[in-house]
Each structure stands twice: as structure tokens, then as C-alpha cells.
Structure 1
């Protein structure tokens, strides 16, 4: 099979970026349809970094700095956060363009190269996290970015050069790519490092392996120069804290479910079948590489919200590469060249719903009606280019327990097993309520009440909940060394003036964990206000 025409291939890749980028930016802003909480988590990190703070050193997060640096670049140029997010995706696509072009030209036959290039760029520039959920969202963009870079790194590592070869360039791209994974979402780095190294060694590409090591270390050195060596210690501490956390050990189904449940069994079967077919066809190196990659594919899928197996399109690309003799058959009499093609087609069929959803998301974004949206940060006109659906911003819904005294459901209380989430604080039971929608209105109402009662200006609050982004909506200051998303412990509490206990938190279990940790730690607080939406306590730190 011939490799792609260089001029046509690069034109195709540029066209994909230009079309998706133009459609994405044509709206003039970013209009979110869901995941407001995740967006507020992202905004806290972006604004902290734009003000000069470093992830891990100045605030807690398990996500690496390169997941946010492209957006911060545009923020520091004075652009609004909505357009900065969109431009960051276009920028990353253009940065990846040479690597995608080289991987396609040096490793892949024509049809595989085009499928590969399109898949990588769609992953970078999509406006939804995946699955078949159609609502536009920036949530978990770093998962898409990491998959895109993983595609490039894996193709260069596990496939031998075809007609052109440049070991130095291979090493540079692989090393920088792995460094990006380590500094974006380390799960991908951990999952794919061994298969990449084994793939390079099995293909006799030791020069590229040395180059990858050198370029990866060069990236680490550059980061160390600007962030100091303490950055790496802080990063490891954050990862250790999160890995030991019981708050969100895995954001979805269990590991066994990801392998054996009906929704995933087909993908697992095609991966296993592909490994067997490759070995039968004499493609020992690629078969070994896929055998090593499969656990990583499953692990990353398990760790990502939605458990979307976005490795399936990469599997299809890899299966389109071998040039198997037409007469070669296995013990069942199957012609292996055709069998590999069928396996690739099955992988594409399984991948298609999610990939089509990703590809179509910028067009859905373009068709949204701005009249249905409002700014997510109303008090910050410079960031009004980030909008959220008006109904989701203002319709405040929660889940409450109905088995209260007098309901006729009292005999069901024991079987409901709510004790794991119920909590009392300072001897007073807190209501059983969990916020489901309307986090923007919820935050705005709370901070307005704080301001009207003199508890906001220049003060810091530690919130007993999953999110602590109230400072973005008010005159509050942000916590020093806080956590934009709560994973455990009491990060930033030493700098807090007040403890804010929401009566309907976004996570009942997190509220309980925080309040129990405060009481177990012997931290003394005094009640200063009981408002309809929250209780507020001051910290007793005299002496």
C-alpha cells in the first residue's frame, strides 16, 4: 500500500484545522450547554495561573500545567476566557500538525494516514468530551488532548518507518509528546510509557529512544528552570493525595465493568481478536505492542469520566498498516489480510458514535441560539464571551430525602442507607439535600448574602463542598494553596477567615468528609451567621 501524497496530505490536515477552527470561532464566544461545575473548576485554575500562580506549588490539582497553559497564553494577551479556550484548541492543533504529518507520512499507508490525521485533529478541536452526549462542553478537554498526543506517540513508537526515516525527528516528537502527557494528565504517561519503549526497542529504533529520553528530559529541565525543582515534588504530592483519595477514586464504572460489561465487551473482544490475528499473520512486533497497549487502553478508559474507549480508532489505524500476503490463512482457514481488515472495520464501527459526536460538536456550537444563554461570570464583562444556558444557570434543583417524619415512608429510612452522607455539625443535623443544577445562581446568591452582611470584602472562605470557586463571583479573595476541586484533606484552610457550610452542597459525601475532618483535627470554629442557603463559621485562632 502506498503512502499518502505529501502535498495532498498536508493540505487535508490544514483544511481540517481551518474548517473546524473557523466554525468554532465563528460564534465569537463559547456557549456551554452543560458541566457548569467542571467549567468553574477550570476557570479557577486558569485565573490563578494567569495571575502568576503555578499548579501544585500554589494550588492543588492532579492535572498538569500543560492542560491549561495554552488557554492562559491567550488570557495573558488580554482576551476573554471563552475565546481563549477556543483559540487554545486551534493553537494546539497547529502545534501538532507537523507531528501528525510526519507520523502519517513515515509510518502509515494512505487510508490509515487520513483516518489517523482526521481522528487526532478532531480529538483536539472537539467541543464535547466524547460518548454520544450532544451538549457542548469544555469539560475534561485535557482527556481529548492527551488522547490526541498519545495517538501520535504510539504510532511513531510501535510502527517501523516505511519509506522514509529520521530517527532524530522520531525521538524529538516522542520525547516531547511523552513530556506533554506527563504534564497534562499523567495517567496517559503511566499507561503508555512501557509500550512506547518496548515498541522502539522491538523495531530497533534505539537512536529514537535515546532522542526521546533527551528531549523529554529537556522539557523537564525547562520546567524546572521556570518553576524550580519544588514543582516536581509538589506535583508528586498532589498525585499521591489524589490517588489515596476516597472522594473520586474512579469517575465512572468499575474496572471489571470496563472490560466485561455489554457496552464494552465488544471493544475488548476486538482488541483481543486483533492481537491474535496479528500474531497469526506473523506481525509479532505489532502484536506484542498491542498486547502491551491493551491494559493501558482499558486503564485510561476506566480513569476517565464517561469511560469512553477512544482508543478504538487508533486500534483501527494500527490494523490497517500490516501488508499481509493474500494467501496467508490461519487454522480456521481465514485469509488473514481480510481478517485484519474486518477487525479494523469493527473497531471503526465501535468508535464511530463517539468520534462523529466529537467531529460534529463545533457545528452544533455554531447553531446554538445566543438568546438562550447568559454570561457565567456576570460581574466580569471582560469574560462575557463565556456563556452558559440561562435555564441551567438559574433553575436551582436539588435532591432531597422524602422519607421524613410524617411522610408515611419512615419505615424505609433504614433501608435507604443515607447514613453515609448524613452529617451533624456542632451537634446540629444538616439537611439532606444535594444540588443538581443551578450552581451559578447558587454561588451568586450565597456571595451576595455574604457581601450584604460584611463577610466578603478581602476575606477568604473555606467551603465544605466539592467546589470552592465563590471568589470568582464576588469580592472574596481566593484561598492560598487551595484546591479548585476537592480531593481530600483541608487544602488552603490555614488561610481561610471563615468556614462556609452549604445547606445543599454539590456533594453530600464531600461535605461530610470535610466537616468530620475539621472536627477530628480539633479545629475550633464559632457560628457567625445562619443564612437560608448556608451556615458560616469563623475560625478561632487566637493564641
Structure 2
């Protein structure tokens, strides 16, 4: 039966790809239910890469190129961006399949191997980032891919192979570490040291050497093709975001990730698990898991939604390490080995809402009524296969300040700083729904006024996706998502001031920069168009 096990596992993983991937592809497009701004951020990067541009060198982003490269390749081949997103996930799952078979065969029991493969396949092919909200979203798809790579690398490092010399292990490990670094550096920084420590403690010396050679080979290929400046630009983007007040941490503060009510159960569970591992004489497993915990917290802190998906990995590790445990009864009368299994059940229960949301998101996607959806890019041609709920695309809602605007409501003094550009205060207003329609209308109006003419435009807002909707061009060195400073302003010929932005706090930050340049005599802004929705300036560098 043992010799049949790899084939059975391969068949099981292939069925998962056919099931989850097939259901996702079924609709012939991608139909999301939220996060249109994030989706346009993805589209900007994909279209720029499909046009031959390189992340970090040609535009600013802290996300690694591998997060978007497979999608861009498919778009370059003529596929609509919606289907390209889905197919890229299916292809990623197919690439992971032989690695999962290898890891399961060499390190895990059949049932734990099947569970591990199921978790990885779900992470790779789901159509939501996690949490328990049921809407389909492709936002932060790269976090799922990075988690999958991290899970594979950590399991391989902590659980030595039952046989083999370590060459294949080293190649897989090296590739997974590179995947983390080339998708989101947070994962590499958080897990590289614990992985190395685990490899040393489990005496996987050959795997360490081969992994290092594999990683250096990947780095060499990228450096030869892109130049050393690529790595300097990547580091510069990461440092910019790390020092940014806008997006350095898109959710709860770090102490809350460890001890807030929503997360305390997971934190306690992992530390109790470590205690039981140590008591059951699984010293290496307990130590490495302890070293992983800071990375678990930090990655969760860095990811929007703060979803502790690492609990899935802890579940697998506890089930796998259970075989190494000894029957030790603690002074409280608890069998530590049995307690490890109990804690595996606890950690899975704590993350079950997120996991099942991930797992059945493709089926939710298959069940939607496309009549309720509208293209994000109404003039996008083949790319109209990426759609969002019509309510979110075409209904425009905003949050406006009433105090100070209505006589019976006195102004609230502790409001955030007003957005003032060259002495003019922008009304307190932020878009909450209908961002694609707003950008489309602005882009069409600029086109109709014959002001676009293939020029680039800097937008005083967190998103600068207007060029997707009209005849504008993306800014050289621009940022699809604003993280700070004025990226792309030097190249821009136009400056757009939305009168109801997505983020007025970002607008305040940008206005401080523009006002400083204008007052210093380094920049001239000449108003060329004003509507109820925006003010447009032509920019002249002095």
C-alpha cells in the first residue's frame, strides 16, 4: 500500500484542482463583491507589467513582482484580466502539486498529508482573502500565495524526511523561500531565521546547502535580467512603506493582534501547545514553534483583515509532531501527548470560520447571478470579464460632514486637519461606494475636454487609477497605491484634486507636499478645469 500512496495523494490533489479551479472558471469571468479599489490597484500593476514595465524600477510598489507576473503573462497572451487572475491561481496549484506530494510522502502520514495538501490548495485557489465575510474578493491574493509557500517551507524545515539525501528538499525549500521574498518580503523576514534554525536542529545539512544554491541561482537570474538596481529599488519601496503613516500597518495595532478578544484565543492556544510539546519531549518542535510565533503575529499585523491563518499551519504541525511525542503525564494529570492532539483540534476550530470561507468561496462565485454585476472597466474590452456588484460599481455614496454645514449643528473642533491647497479648503467628503463610476466619469470628462491627450496625471488621493478608464497614461515612477511622498509627480503633466476623495487624510498629506513646492517656487499649478467632482491643474516645474 505504501508504494501507492504518492499516486493516491497526487490524484486527491488533482481532484481538488479540478474541483476548486473548475468551479472558479465556470462563470467565464471574475465577479467580486468588494474591494474595488484594491482590484484596480491589481489591474494597474498587471497592465503595466503586461506593457513591459518592471515593478520597483518603473513604478512603486512594496509587493514583489511574482505576485502579479503570472497574471500579466496571461494578459499579454490576450486573456481578460478576470480570467487571468483565476487561471493564474489554477496554474499555481498545479505547480505546487508535485511539491505537496513530495512533502506528504517524505514527512507526513497519509491523513495529515491529505489535510496539509487540502489547506494549501484552498489557500491557492480561493476567491477571498480570508476572514468570515462571505463576499468574493481578489484583494490581497498574494497573501494567500505567500502563506502557502511559507507553510510548505516551515513543514519541510521542522519535519526531517524519513528517507532521501535532501537534494530535492533543498530545491523546494530554496524555491519556497524565493517565492516569499518575491511576493511579500514580510514573510521572508518573519520566517527565514526560524526555518534555518529548524533545518540546523533537524540536521538537514544537505538541504541547507542546496536551498542556498537554489536561492542564489534565482537571485542571479533576476539580477542578470534586471540589474542590481532592481534590488535597490525594491528595498527603497519597502523602506518607503515601512516609514509611511498611510499603509505601514493596515489594521489593528500589534499588541491587539496578540491580546485583543478576537486573537487572544489563538495566542493562548499556540503557547499552550508549545508547553505540551516540550513536556512530551518534542523539544525541537516546541522551540521552533516558539521562534515562529513572533513572525506569525507580525505577518498578521501587516495583512489587512489581520486574519491569523497561521493557525492552520499550527494544526498541521501539531498533528505531525504528535508521532514524536512521548506519553508523559504532567503534574496536573494531563497526558501531554494526548493534549497535543486536543490542541490541534482547538487551533483548527479557532481558524475554521476563515478556512471554510476560503474553501467554499469558489462555489459562492459559481452561484452568483451575473445580471447583478457590472464591469469595473466599462470600456475595457476583453477586460470587462472582471466585474463587481452593480451596486458597488454604479451607485455612488459618500460620507460628508454635517456639523458646521448646518446651522443647528456646531462645528466639531476635534476633526482631522482640513485639506487646503493653495488657500482653498476642500469640502469634508469621502467616497464610500461607486469608486469605479466616479473614476470613469472623471476620466471621460477629461477626455471630452481634450485635456488628456496621452498625458500622465498625478491624483491627490490614495488611488490613481484614472488612466485605466480613459486616454491618460500611467506616471513613470508612479504608485498604483499611495504610500507617501509624491511618487510620479515629476513625470506628471496634470494634477487632479478630487473634491470627494477616497481618503481625505491622504489628500491632506499630498497637499502639504504640493503647497511646500508651490511656496518654494519649485512648482506652478494652473487650473484648467473645474467641475462638481474635481479640479484639474496643469503642472509646470520651475
TM-score, length of structure 1 as denominator length: 0.97
1:307 matched residue in structure 2? 306
In 1, are the aligned partners of 2:41 and 2:480 still within 8 Å (CA)? yes
Alignment partners' CA distance in 2, 1:285 and 1:500: 57
1:92 matched residue in structure 2? 92
Alignment partners' CA distance in 1, 2:164 and 2:350: 33
Alignment partners' CA distance in 2, 1:281 and 1:95: 37
Shift of 1:407: 3.4
2:467 matched residue in structure 1? 471
- 1:387-466 superposed matches below 5 A: 387-410=387-410, 413-414=412-413, 417-420=414-417, 422-466=418-462
Alignment partners' CA distance in 1, 2:327 and 2:219: 49
In 2, are the aligned partners of 1:457 and 1:476 still within 8 Å (CA)? yes
- 1:158-197 superposed matches below 5 A: 158-162=158-162, 164-197=163-196
- 1:207-356 superposed matches below 5 A: 207-321=206-320, 322-323=322-323, 327-356=327-356
Shift of 1:530: 1.6
Shift of 1:457: 1.7
Q: Secondary structure at the match of 2:308?
A: coil
Alignment partners' CA distance in 2, 1:261 and 1:373: 37
In 1, are the aligned partners of 2:460 and 2:497 still within 8 Å (CA)? yes
Q: Secondary structure at the match of 1:306?
A: coil
Shift of 1:271: 0.3
Q: Secondary structure at the match of 2:528?
A: strand
Moved more, 282-291 or 450-459: 450-459
Shift of 1:327: 3.9
Alignment partners' CA distance in 2, 1:184 and 1:315: 22
Alignment partners' CA distance in 1, 2:111 and 2:331: 29
Shift of 1:165: 2.4
In 2, are the aligned partners of 1:134 and 1:361 still within 8 Å (CA)? yes
Shift of 1:524: 2.2
Q: Secondary structure at the match of 1:234?
A: helix
2:533 matched residue in structure 1? 533
1:510 matched residue in structure 2? 506
Shift of 1:419: 3.2
Task: Give the direction of change, closer, same or farther, for the CA distance of 1:249–1:274 in structure 2 (3 Å limit).
Answer: same
- 1:99-114 superposed matches below 5 A: 99-114=99-114
- 1:32-47 superposed matches below 5 A: 32-47=32-47
Alignment partners' CA distance in 2, 1:8 and 1:27: 30
> Structure 2: which 5+ runs fail to align?
none
Alignment partners' CA distance in 2, 1:446 and 1:63: 28
Task: Give the direction of change, closer, same or farther, for the CA distance of 1:109–1:441 in structure 2 (3 Å limit).
Answer: same
2:146 matched residue in structure 1? 146
Alignment partners' CA distance in 1, 2:111 and 2:140: 30
- 1:105-144 superposed matches below 5 A: 105-144=105-144
In 2, are the aligned partners of 1:465 and 1:506 still within 8 Å (CA)? yes
Alignment root-mean-square deviation, CA: 1.3
2:363 matched residue in structure 1? 363
In 1, are the aligned partners of 2:34 and 2:136 still within 8 Å (CA)? yes
TM-score, length of structure 2 as denominator length: 0.97
Shift of 1:397: 0.7
Shift of 1:540: 2.5
In 1, are the aligned partners of 2:493 and 2:540 still within 8 Å (CA)? no
Task: Give the direction of change, closer, same or farther, for the CA distance of 1:331–1:479 in structure 2 (3 Å limit).
Answer: same
2:515 matched residue in structure 1? 519
In 2, are the aligned partners of 1:4 and 1:110 still within 8 Å (CA)? no
Residues 178-205 of structure 1: CA deviation (Å, up to 9, x unaligned): 0110000000000000000000000011
Q: Secondary structure at the match of 1:258?
A: helix
In 1, are the aligned partners of 2:280 and 2:327 still within 8 Å (CA)? no
In 2, are the aligned partners of 1:93 and 1:125 still within 8 Å (CA)? yes
> Structure 1: which 5+ runs fail to align?
none
Equivalenced residues, count: 536
- 1:52-71 superposed matches below 5 A: 52-71=52-71
Alignment partners' CA distance in 2, 1:313 and 1:325: 20
In 1, are the aligned partners of 2:496 and 2:535 still within 8 Å (CA)? yes
Q: Which runs of 4+ in 1 moved over 6 A?
A: none
Alignment partners' CA distance in 2, 1:29 and 1:419: 41
Shift of 1:406: 3.7
Alignment partners' CA distance in 2, 1:191 and 1:165: 28
Moved more, 523-532 or 81-90: 523-532
In 1, are the aligned partners of 2:281 and 2:325 still within 8 Å (CA)? no
Alignment partners' CA distance in 1, 2:113 and 2:184: 26
Alignment partners' CA distance in 1, 2:459 and 2:229: 28
Task: Give the direction of change, closer, same or farther, for the CA distance of 1:332–1:4 in structure 2 (3 Å limit).
Answer: farther
Alignment partners' CA distance in 2, 1:95 and 1:254: 36
In 2, are the aligned partners of 1:50 and 1:72 still within 8 Å (CA)? yes
Alignment partners' CA distance in 2, 1:115 and 1:351: 14
2:497 matched residue in structure 1? 501
Shift of 1:161: 1.6
